[in-house]
Protein backbone atom coordinates (compact mmCIF):
# COMPACT_ATOMS: atom_id res chain seq x y z
CA UNK A 1 0.00 0.00 0.00
CA UNK A 2 1.33 3.43 -0.97
CA UNK A 3 2.23 5.68 1.96
CA UNK A 4 0.25 8.90 2.17
CA UNK A 5 0.28 12.00 4.36
CA UNK A 6 -2.80 11.96 6.59
CA UNK A 7 -3.89 13.92 9.64
CA UNK A 8 -0.94 16.34 9.51
CA UNK A 9 -0.46 20.10 9.32
CA UNK A 10 1.45 20.63 6.09
CA UNK A 11 2.95 23.78 4.58
CA UNK A 12 3.17 23.86 0.78
CA UNK A 13 5.29 26.78 -0.40
CA UNK A 14 4.51 27.84 -3.94
CA UNK A 15 1.13 26.23 -3.40
CA UNK A 16 -0.60 28.42 -5.99
CA UNK A 17 1.76 27.05 -8.61
CA UNK A 18 1.22 24.11 -10.93
CA UNK A 19 2.87 21.40 -8.84
CA UNK A 20 2.01 22.92 -5.47
CA UNK A 21 -1.70 23.16 -6.21
CA UNK A 22 -1.80 19.52 -7.32
CA UNK A 23 -0.15 18.54 -4.04
CA UNK A 24 -2.64 20.59 -2.03
CA UNK A 25 -5.62 19.02 -3.78
CA UNK A 26 -4.50 15.55 -2.73
CA UNK A 27 -3.56 16.54 0.81
CA UNK A 28 -6.94 18.11 1.48
CA UNK A 29 -8.62 14.89 0.40
CA UNK A 30 -6.58 12.99 2.98
CA UNK A 31 -7.69 14.77 6.15
CA UNK A 32 -4.74 17.16 6.40
CA UNK A 33 -4.68 20.82 7.31
CA UNK A 34 -2.81 22.65 4.55
CA UNK A 35 -1.10 26.02 4.71
CA UNK A 36 -0.20 27.62 1.37
CA UNK A 37 2.52 30.27 1.09
CA UNK A 38 2.72 32.07 -2.25
CA UNK A 39 3.32 35.56 -3.60
CA UNK A 40 1.74 34.83 -7.02
CA UNK A 41 4.92 35.71 -8.90
CA UNK A 42 4.48 32.56 -10.98
CA UNK A 43 1.56 30.88 -9.19
CA UNK A 44 -2.01 31.83 -10.02
CA UNK A 45 -4.99 32.55 -7.73
CA UNK A 46 -7.24 30.38 -9.92
CA UNK A 47 -5.09 27.33 -9.11
CA UNK A 48 -6.23 27.46 -5.48
CA UNK A 49 -9.69 28.98 -5.98
CA UNK A 50 -11.44 25.67 -5.33
CA UNK A 51 -9.64 25.31 -1.97
CA UNK A 52 -10.38 28.75 -0.50
CA UNK A 53 -13.59 27.74 1.27
CA UNK A 54 -12.18 24.46 2.53
CA UNK A 55 -12.14 24.50 6.35
CA UNK A 56 -8.68 22.89 6.43
CA UNK A 57 -7.02 25.30 3.98
CA UNK A 58 -5.15 28.46 4.95
CA UNK A 59 -3.67 30.91 2.45
CA UNK A 60 -0.74 33.14 3.42
CA UNK A 61 0.19 35.64 0.74
CA UNK A 62 3.89 36.14 1.31
CA UNK A 63 7.38 35.86 -0.13
CA UNK A 64 10.04 33.31 0.81
CA UNK A 65 12.58 36.12 0.43
CA UNK A 66 11.04 37.59 3.60
CA UNK A 67 12.14 35.57 6.63
CA UNK A 68 9.14 36.77 8.67
CA UNK A 69 6.74 35.39 6.05
CA UNK A 70 8.55 32.07 6.30
CA UNK A 71 8.36 32.05 10.09
CA UNK A 72 4.64 32.80 10.01
CA UNK A 73 4.04 30.01 7.49
CA UNK A 74 5.90 27.27 9.42
CA UNK A 75 4.29 28.03 12.78
CA UNK A 76 2.72 24.82 14.07
CA UNK A 77 3.57 22.87 10.91
CA UNK A 78 4.81 19.26 11.00
CA UNK A 79 5.82 18.87 7.33
CA UNK A 80 7.04 21.37 4.73
CA UNK A 81 6.78 20.58 1.03
CA UNK A 82 8.86 23.37 -0.47
CA UNK A 83 7.86 23.94 -4.08
CA UNK A 84 8.41 27.71 -4.26
CA UNK A 85 11.08 28.71 -6.77
CA UNK A 86 11.70 30.87 -9.79
CA UNK A 87 11.95 28.32 -12.57
CA UNK A 88 13.19 28.48 -16.18
CA UNK A 89 16.71 28.29 -17.53
CA UNK A 90 16.17 31.20 -20.01
CA UNK A 91 14.78 33.46 -17.27
CA UNK A 92 17.81 32.75 -15.09
CA UNK A 93 20.14 33.66 -17.96
CA UNK A 94 18.27 36.93 -18.46
CA UNK A 95 17.97 37.74 -14.74
CA UNK A 96 20.39 35.71 -12.60
CA UNK A 97 20.13 38.01 -9.59
CA UNK A 98 16.40 37.52 -9.01
CA UNK A 99 16.70 33.78 -9.67
CA UNK A 100 19.41 33.56 -7.03
CA UNK A 101 17.51 35.72 -4.54
CA UNK A 102 14.43 33.48 -4.73
CA UNK A 103 15.98 30.05 -5.19
CA UNK A 104 18.95 30.40 -2.84
CA UNK A 105 18.05 33.24 -0.47
CA UNK A 106 14.44 32.12 -0.21
CA UNK A 107 15.42 28.50 0.31
CA UNK A 108 17.86 29.46 3.07
CA UNK A 109 15.10 31.45 4.77
CA UNK A 110 12.85 28.39 4.69
CA UNK A 111 15.57 26.18 6.15
CA UNK A 112 16.21 28.61 9.00
CA UNK A 113 12.50 29.10 9.70
CA UNK A 114 11.87 25.34 9.65
CA UNK A 115 14.86 24.69 11.90
CA UNK A 116 13.76 27.27 14.46
CA UNK A 117 10.16 26.00 14.42
CA UNK A 118 11.18 22.38 14.94
CA UNK A 119 9.63 21.16 11.69
CA UNK A 120 9.75 17.36 11.52
CA UNK A 121 10.49 16.93 7.80
CA UNK A 122 11.17 19.29 4.90
CA UNK A 123 10.95 17.97 1.34
CA UNK A 124 12.13 20.37 -1.35
CA UNK A 125 11.92 20.62 -5.10
CA UNK A 126 15.37 20.07 -6.56
CA UNK A 127 15.98 19.92 -10.32
CA UNK A 128 17.35 17.69 -13.06
CA UNK A 129 19.22 20.78 -14.29
CA UNK A 130 21.78 19.95 -11.59
CA UNK A 131 23.22 17.28 -13.89
CA UNK A 132 24.54 20.03 -16.16
CA UNK A 133 27.02 18.86 -18.77
CA UNK A 134 27.25 15.31 -17.43
CA UNK A 135 26.98 12.84 -20.30
CA UNK A 136 26.17 9.91 -18.02
CA UNK A 137 22.91 8.29 -19.16
CA UNK A 138 20.65 7.53 -17.41
CA UNK A 139 21.24 10.21 -14.78
CA UNK A 140 22.13 8.79 -11.38
CA UNK A 141 22.09 10.95 -8.26
CA UNK A 142 25.78 10.79 -7.36
CA UNK A 143 27.16 11.64 -10.82
CA UNK A 144 26.61 15.27 -11.82
CA UNK A 145 28.46 17.61 -14.16
CA UNK A 146 29.05 21.35 -14.25
CA UNK A 147 25.91 23.54 -14.29
CA UNK A 148 24.94 25.13 -17.60
CA UNK A 149 22.79 27.99 -16.29
CA UNK A 150 22.31 30.24 -13.25
CA UNK A 151 19.10 28.32 -12.51
CA UNK A 152 21.03 25.04 -12.35
CA UNK A 153 23.57 26.61 -10.00
CA UNK A 154 20.84 27.78 -7.62
CA UNK A 155 19.21 24.36 -7.43
CA UNK A 156 22.55 22.69 -6.74
CA UNK A 157 23.35 25.24 -4.03
CA UNK A 158 20.02 24.31 -2.41
CA UNK A 159 21.18 20.70 -2.22
CA UNK A 160 24.45 21.79 -0.61
CA UNK A 161 22.63 23.92 1.97
CA UNK A 162 20.26 21.06 2.76
CA UNK A 163 23.18 18.68 3.26
CA UNK A 164 24.91 21.10 5.65
CA UNK A 165 21.73 21.88 7.62
CA UNK A 166 21.00 18.18 8.00
CA UNK A 167 24.45 17.56 9.44
CA UNK A 168 24.72 20.68 11.60
CA UNK A 169 21.22 20.90 13.01
CA UNK A 170 19.90 17.34 12.82
CA UNK A 171 17.14 18.29 10.39
CA UNK A 172 15.37 15.77 8.15
CA UNK A 173 15.62 17.07 4.58
CA UNK A 174 14.96 15.35 1.27
CA UNK A 175 15.47 16.81 -2.21
CA UNK A 176 13.51 15.64 -5.24
CA UNK A 177 15.13 16.28 -8.61
CA UNK A 178 12.14 16.80 -10.90
CA UNK A 179 12.41 15.90 -14.57
CA UNK A 180 10.15 17.97 -16.90
CA UNK A 181 6.88 17.77 -15.02
CA UNK A 182 3.57 18.25 -16.86
CA UNK A 183 -0.14 18.06 -16.14
CA UNK A 184 -3.26 20.02 -15.11
CA UNK A 185 -2.89 23.65 -13.96
CA UNK A 186 0.35 24.13 -15.88
CA UNK A 187 0.67 27.63 -17.35
CA UNK A 188 1.03 27.83 -21.16
CA UNK A 189 1.63 31.59 -21.23
CA UNK A 190 4.71 33.73 -21.29
CA UNK A 191 8.23 33.44 -22.60
CA UNK A 192 9.17 30.84 -19.99
CA UNK A 193 6.24 28.46 -20.33
CA UNK A 194 6.95 24.75 -20.07
CA UNK A 195 7.15 23.01 -23.41
CA UNK A 196 4.07 20.73 -23.23
CA UNK A 197 1.38 23.31 -22.42
CA UNK A 198 3.08 25.73 -24.80
CA UNK A 199 2.95 23.20 -27.65
CA UNK A 200 -0.65 22.29 -26.78
CA UNK A 201 -1.88 25.89 -26.73
CA UNK A 202 -0.10 26.54 -30.04
CA UNK A 203 -1.66 23.50 -31.70
CA UNK A 204 -5.13 24.35 -30.38
CA UNK A 205 -4.73 27.81 -31.93
CA UNK A 206 -3.88 26.09 -35.27
CA UNK A 207 -0.38 27.56 -35.23
CA UNK A 208 2.90 25.78 -35.88
CA UNK A 209 4.81 24.85 -32.71
CA UNK A 210 8.41 26.06 -32.81
CA UNK A 211 11.01 23.52 -31.70
CA UNK A 212 14.45 24.66 -30.57
CA UNK A 213 16.91 22.61 -32.63
CA UNK A 214 16.00 19.69 -34.88
CA UNK A 215 13.61 18.00 -32.45
CA UNK A 216 16.02 15.24 -31.48
CA UNK A 217 16.64 16.65 -28.00
CA UNK A 218 14.93 14.39 -25.49
CA UNK A 219 13.51 14.64 -21.99
CA UNK A 220 12.17 12.37 -19.27
CA UNK A 221 8.67 13.89 -19.17
CA UNK A 222 6.95 13.20 -15.86
CA UNK A 223 3.24 13.41 -15.11
CA UNK A 224 2.48 15.53 -12.05
CA UNK A 225 0.74 12.69 -10.15
CA UNK A 226 4.12 10.91 -9.99
CA UNK A 227 5.61 14.03 -8.39
CA UNK A 228 2.81 14.24 -5.84
CA UNK A 229 3.43 10.59 -4.98
CA UNK A 230 7.16 11.20 -4.53
CA UNK A 231 6.53 14.14 -2.18
CA UNK A 232 4.28 12.02 0.01
CA UNK A 233 6.71 9.13 0.08
CA UNK A 234 9.61 11.44 0.96
CA UNK A 235 7.57 13.12 3.70
CA UNK A 236 6.62 9.81 5.34
CA UNK A 237 9.64 7.54 4.90
CA UNK A 238 11.08 6.40 8.23
CA UNK A 239 14.24 4.55 7.17
CA UNK A 240 17.24 6.66 8.35
CA UNK A 241 19.27 5.96 5.21
CA UNK A 242 16.45 7.38 3.07
CA UNK A 243 16.64 10.83 4.71
CA UNK A 244 19.04 13.72 4.05
CA UNK A 245 19.70 12.82 0.45
CA UNK A 246 18.31 13.55 -3.04
CA UNK A 247 16.26 11.50 -5.48
CA UNK A 248 15.36 11.60 -9.15
CA UNK A 249 11.63 11.93 -9.75
CA UNK A 250 10.79 10.88 -13.28
CA UNK A 251 9.39 8.04 -15.36
CA UNK A 252 12.70 6.63 -16.52
CA UNK A 253 11.67 7.05 -20.18
CA UNK A 254 13.20 9.30 -22.82
CA UNK A 255 10.96 11.09 -25.33
CA UNK A 256 12.29 13.36 -28.10
CA UNK A 257 10.56 16.65 -28.86
CA UNK A 258 9.51 15.27 -32.24
CA UNK A 259 7.96 12.23 -30.57
CA UNK A 260 6.25 14.48 -28.05
CA UNK A 261 4.61 16.61 -30.73
CA UNK A 262 3.44 13.49 -32.55
CA UNK A 263 1.83 12.31 -29.29
CA UNK A 264 0.14 15.66 -28.75
CA UNK A 265 -1.15 15.98 -32.31
CA UNK A 266 -2.64 12.49 -32.16
CA UNK A 267 -4.37 13.12 -28.81
CA UNK A 268 -5.65 16.59 -29.73
CA UNK A 269 -6.96 15.32 -33.06
CA UNK A 270 -9.68 13.53 -31.09
CA UNK A 271 -11.15 16.96 -30.42
CA UNK A 272 -10.13 18.71 -33.66
CA UNK A 273 -9.06 16.55 -36.60
CA UNK A 274 -7.35 19.45 -38.41
CA UNK A 275 -4.62 19.53 -35.73
CA UNK A 276 -3.11 16.37 -37.23
CA UNK A 277 -2.02 18.35 -40.30
CA UNK A 278 -0.27 21.23 -38.52
CA UNK A 279 3.39 21.47 -39.48
CA UNK A 280 6.26 21.97 -37.04
CA UNK A 281 8.79 24.80 -37.35
CA UNK A 282 12.39 24.39 -36.22
CA UNK A 283 14.53 27.17 -34.80
CA UNK A 284 17.99 27.57 -33.27
CA UNK A 285 19.00 25.58 -30.22
CA UNK A 286 18.31 27.40 -26.94
CA UNK A 287 21.23 28.60 -24.84
CA UNK A 288 21.76 26.55 -21.68
CA UNK A 289 19.69 23.59 -22.87
CA UNK A 290 20.86 20.07 -22.07
CA UNK A 291 20.56 17.88 -25.21
CA UNK A 292 19.24 14.74 -23.50
CA UNK A 293 17.84 13.90 -20.11
CA UNK A 294 16.91 10.46 -18.80
CA UNK A 295 16.63 9.54 -15.14
CA UNK A 296 17.38 6.42 -13.23
CA UNK A 297 14.67 6.09 -10.58
CA UNK A 298 16.22 3.06 -8.91
CA UNK A 299 17.34 4.95 -5.80
CA UNK A 300 13.84 6.36 -5.24
CA UNK A 301 12.33 2.95 -5.95
CA UNK A 302 14.61 1.22 -3.45
CA UNK A 303 14.64 3.74 -0.59
CA UNK A 304 11.29 5.54 -0.94
CA UNK A 305 9.16 2.84 -2.53
CA UNK A 306 8.57 5.10 -5.54
CA UNK A 307 6.84 3.46 -8.49
CA UNK A 308 5.72 5.98 -11.12
CA UNK A 309 2.04 5.34 -11.66
CA UNK A 310 1.95 7.11 -15.02
CA UNK A 311 4.27 6.61 -17.97
CA UNK A 312 4.54 9.45 -20.49
CA UNK A 313 1.77 8.29 -22.79
CA UNK A 314 -0.57 7.55 -19.89
CA UNK A 315 0.13 10.94 -18.34
CA UNK A 316 -0.55 12.76 -21.60
CA UNK A 317 -3.87 10.93 -21.95
CA UNK A 318 -4.78 11.97 -18.40
CA UNK A 319 -3.75 15.59 -18.97
CA UNK A 320 -5.12 16.15 -22.46
CA UNK A 321 -8.74 16.63 -21.40
CA UNK A 322 -7.72 19.37 -18.96
CA UNK A 323 -5.47 20.99 -21.56
CA UNK A 324 -8.23 20.93 -24.15
CA UNK A 325 -10.95 22.31 -21.89
CA UNK A 326 -8.79 25.07 -20.42
CA UNK A 327 -6.49 26.04 -23.26
CA UNK A 328 -9.09 25.92 -26.02
CA UNK A 329 -11.32 28.23 -23.95
CA UNK A 330 -8.37 30.57 -23.52
CA UNK A 331 -7.66 30.48 -27.24
CA UNK A 332 -11.29 31.36 -28.00
CA UNK A 333 -11.24 34.26 -25.56
CA UNK A 334 -8.02 35.60 -27.06
CA UNK A 335 -9.51 35.37 -30.54
CA UNK A 336 -12.69 37.16 -29.43
CA UNK A 337 -10.68 39.98 -27.86
CA UNK A 338 -8.49 40.47 -30.92
CA UNK A 339 -11.36 40.33 -33.45
Tell how strand 210-212 and strand 281-283 pair up: parallel
Tell how strand 173-178 and strand 218-219 pair up: unpaired
Catalytic residue among 131, 151, 178, 247: 151
Tell how strand 173-178 and strand 245-249 pair up: parallel
- Taking the C-alpha atoms of residue 295 and residue 317, their distance in angstroms, rounded to an integer, is 22
| 34-37, long-range: CB < 8 A, 24+ apart | 34/9, 34/10, 34/58, 35/9, 35/10, 35/11, 35/60, 35/73, 35/77, 36/11, 36/12, 36/60, 37/11, 37/12, 37/13, 37/62, 37/64, 37/69, 37/70, 37/73, 37/84
Kindly compute the dihedral angle of the four CA atoms of residues 278, 283, 287, 289, in this order, to the nearest 10 degrees.
40
For the question of residue 178 being annotated catalytic, the response is: no
Active site residues: 151
Amino acid sequence: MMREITGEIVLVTGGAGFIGSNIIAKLLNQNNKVVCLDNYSTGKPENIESFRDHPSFQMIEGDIRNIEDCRKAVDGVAIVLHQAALGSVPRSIKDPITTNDVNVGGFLNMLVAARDAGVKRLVYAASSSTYGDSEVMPKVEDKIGKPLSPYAITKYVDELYADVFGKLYGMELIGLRYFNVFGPRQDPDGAYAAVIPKFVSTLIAHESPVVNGDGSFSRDFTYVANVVQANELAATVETPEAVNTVYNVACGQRTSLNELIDHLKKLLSQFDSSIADIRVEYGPERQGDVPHSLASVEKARKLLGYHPEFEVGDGLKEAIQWYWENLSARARNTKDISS
